Amino acid sequence: MYLPDSQFVALLIFMHPDIPLRRIDLFIPCRSKHSVALRRTLKLSAAFNLSGCHVNGLGIAKYVLRSLESWSAAQPCFRQIFRAMPFGSKIVIENINCKVHDTRVRFVPSPGFDKQLLSVERRQQM
């Protein structure tokens, strides 16, 4: 099983308003799977101590963006696949290396995730 170390929330705004925004979490591999030089270059340690828009300026955020751009452009039916992804699904970056085009990325659908969420009424009762 894949146990990621870091989770990002990715909003693929380049497809909006064609495809409504939805929660799709993005996972990258554990830091221990990368060379020390790559960790320093991408400022991986800093990513785990920042949140919000501060992460956007880090090397890892730029790497993830370039990887997703390259990967999505190579998918013949990307828009249709993305449109079919249920709320709460994942995009998993399986490897991070020096060559962005060699990055392996995959969709992991999470059907039923939205059913696990509590309704407003239920939350108010709690």
Closest CA to 79 of 20, 10, 23: 20
User: CA end-to-end span of the chain, whole Å?
Assistant: 34
Single out the residue of 56, 68, 58, 62 nearest to residue 94, CA to CA: 68
Residue 115's pLDDT is what? 63
Residue 45: predicted pLDDT: 75
Confidence band of 7 (pLDDT split at 50, 70, 90): confident
Domain spans of the chain, in order of start: 6-125
Q: What is the pLDDT of residue 1?
A: 42
Q: What is the pLDDT of residues 80-95, one digit of tens each?
A: 888 888 877 888 999 8
Residue 4: pLDDT over 50: no
DSSP 118: P
- Lowest mean pLDDT of 68-72, 83-87, 89-93, 114-118, name the range: 114-118
